[in-house]
Chain A
Amino acid sequence: MKNCIEMMELLSAQIDNELSQADSERLQAHLQSCEECSAIMEFYNEISVAASESAAEAPEELCTNVMSQIRSGNVKKTAPSKRNAIVYLKRYLPAVAGLAVILTALPFILTNQPPATTDGVAPVAGESRTLFGADPQMQWNAEDASVSEAAEESASYSASFFDIDDAVMGNYAQFPTAPPEAPGGRSEPVAVDLAPPPMDRSAPPISDPEPADHAGGAGDAAHTDAPIDTGEAHHRAESEIVGTEPVGGQHDMADRQAVEDTQYAGSDEAAQGIAPQNEEEAISVGAFTDDLSLGDEAAEAVETEPRGEPAGIIAPAPPAFLTIPPDGTGISPEGLDGLVEFNALISGASMIIEIRGSFPEALSAHPSEFLGDWIVWERLFKLPQAEARELLEVLLTHEDITINLGSDPSAHYAVILYKPQ
């Protein structure tokens, strides 16, 4: 009997052709001598037949209604919902500091604790270290960010991350003193929806972030929400407003009002005509959970609970949410100037972008080559595994970056772009 119980999972998997050769042979050997299990196997086959026969046909109006809505023009591709995050980047006219890239991986943990003193020591796998100066509220999921057509076409892109095109770099000859101008010489600030729906676009912008508190770090940020499961995320997105802040920063009511007055609903076309009242371009970043740490219980909850819609700028999202958001989470990789570079992050701000790669194995490049001021999105997004690893290694040892490590090298990784003060 005990043996039969142990066979139940094998029986089930056999029906689904999901059994290994070895287990299949073991099962067959058992079935030859067990009438009960043979009967159960036959019953499982009946379940398959019964389920298939009970499948309902889709109502005719389903397709008709869907296409009717699409053709009527009421539905726009990538049209933002009311929960779209509006991302306003505040561009500082003064020279900006170099851009630091921080990598974390699932089930990597971003704690809510003040960052540890950076010691430049590479974290040990499984060790948790807080993100230096990072305000978790500033982090949001960019995994499903829309990718430029060029990036899509370069799905098999395998060039080195470090092969920055001269043409690209040439456009930014003044780096890092000033951000590049938008194409066409557009000088007006542009607010761009960098977060696919559903996100709440009512998040206030970030303004005048205070310098990152190297000692207090994220602890100084105003964290308003306790971590919630992903399924609740979108509900909060609808009903709550959480201020978004850069590291150590606080809201500037005047800036917030200025940006709210020019809030953009999402499309690039709409962004063209928006001119924030501020002289500075205002881009506020969506905020996610202030506590991305997962205990065993939470990890199990994440494991077993289905993921809801993305949290957006106002709802916290557990780190597990970073990996599979098919319904539109994330931030568009395009910067303000549409040149697909994260060159307009607010100082002290951070943005999570997912890349796929395994845990780094070796460090080969010098930090200075990796941590330039500008990182080309499509390269980062399509980073070959080897480069991803190298980049991770460099970031692990960068004096201003701490990374929380997990133990699952096959997990997807989120790249957090962090611009120190």
Chain B
Amino acid sequence: MPAIEELQIIKKVLDGDADAFEELVLANQKNVYNLTLKMTKNEEDALDLSQEAFIKAYTQLEVFRGDSKFSVWLYRLTYNLCIDFLRKKKKEQVISISSYQDDSGAVTDMELPDIRELPEDSAERKELRSEIAQSIDELNQNHREVLIMREINDMSYAEIAETLGVSEGTVKSRIARARLSLANILKEKGTFP
């Protein structure tokens, strides 16, 4: 949904048309849900957090300044909710400097995946994609979230940077490392002989 359209809907909502908010929900629910799902790895938690994110966005709509896309603002809100949720559940060390150890070095510190060629057979290619999708969940928190934001939410580096509160350079590096990590995970699984 273009930013201008978002702002028009927001204005309607702020003018009292609460039903108009549904358009924003429908336009963003898939991305919000996938973000919460990939971060929590639990459908029930993802649904709860997604609902909470939209409700919070609704109640906070007046403080949305329009200097970024509403969707990005929403994703950041969602992301923060997920982080807080995970903290409480202590599922992972999501917010600790040590959890960023994979990002502490340059991409050049990582191992180059030994990928000679990918399967050409459509069935094998389909299986590869299935393995990739599963392996994304095995990435560490930092890698997983940037990859989801980039690949599923189709967010730009700038938007991801704004959502995470990091620089674009960090996003660029983190995504590169995420992809490398994914390749190495698959390599260890024997996907790449």
Contact = CB atoms under 8 A, between A and B. Distances in A.
Interface of A: 1-2, 4-6, 8-9, 11-13, 15-16, 18, 35-36, 39-40, 42-44, 46-59, 61-63, 65-67, 69-71, 75-79, 81, 144-147, 152, 155, 196-197, 229, 231, 234-235, 297, 300-309, 320, 324, 326-328, 330, 356
Nearest to A234: B84
Nearest to A198: B56
16 contacts: A13-B172, A58-B50, A63-B26, A67-B19, A75-B55, A75-B58, A78-B59, A78-B63, A144-B63, A146-B63, A196-B63, A235-B87, A306-B80, A307-B80, A326-B63, A327-B77
A110 B107 CA distance: 34
Interface of B: 13-14, 18-19, 21-22, 25-26, 29-30, 32-34, 37, 43, 47, 50-51, 54-56, 58-68, 73, 76-77, 79-80, 83-84, 87, 95, 97, 100, 103, 107-108, 110, 112-118, 125, 128-130, 132-133, 136, 147-148, 150-152, 156-157, 162, 164-167, 170, 172-173, 175-176, 179-180, 182-183
Given A75-B59, A77-B61, A40 B80 contact: no
Contacts of B83: 231, 306, 308
A330 B63 CA distance: 9
B151 A52 contact: yes
Rank and list the top 10 A-B pairs by shortest CB-CB distance, nearest first: A51-B151, A54-B133, A50-B132, A50-B129, A12-B176, A58-B29, A58-B33, A144-B63, A9-B176, A326-B73
Contacts of B18: 70-71
A51 B148 contact: yes
A63 B22 contact: yes
Given A56-B34, A58-B33, A70 B167 contact: no
B152 A52 contact: yes
A306 B79 contact: yes
Contact of A16 (B108, B115, B175, B180): B175
Contact of B60 (A78, A300, A303, A307): A78
A308 B87 CA distance: 11
Nearest to A67: B22
Contacts of A59: 33, 43, 47
A81 to B, nearest CB: 8
A18 B66 contact: no
Nearest to A306: B83
B115 A36 contact: yes
Contacts of B25: 62-63, 66-67
Given A51-B133, A231-B87, A327-B76, A66 B51 contact: yes
Nearest to B156: A18
Given A46-B118, A58-B29, 5 more contacts: A2-B108, A43-B115, A51-B152, A66-B58, A197-B60
A146 B62 contact: yes
B15 to A, nearest CB: 10
Central interface residue in A12, A67, A306, A320, by most chain B CB within 10 Å:
A306
Contacts of B50: 58, 62
Central interface residue in A1, A4, A40, A66, by most chain B CB within 10 Å:
A66
Contacts of A48: 151
B55 A66 contact: yes
Contact of B112 (A8, A16, A42, A67): A8
B107 A8 contact: yes
B172 A70 contact: no
Contacts of A11: 176
A79 B76 contact: no
Contacts of B62: 77-78, 146, 196
Nearest to A78: B62
Contact of A304 (B13, B65, B103, B152): B103
Contacts of A66: 22, 25, 51, 54-55, 58
A75 B180 CA distance: 44
A72 to B, nearest CB: 10
A304 B63 contact: no
B58 A47 contact: no
Contacts of B118: 39, 42-43, 46
A357 B83 CA distance: 30
A308 B88 CA distance: 12
A18 B157 contact: yes
Central interface residue in B19, B80, B100, B108, by most chain A CB within 10 Å:
B80
B64 A326 contact: yes
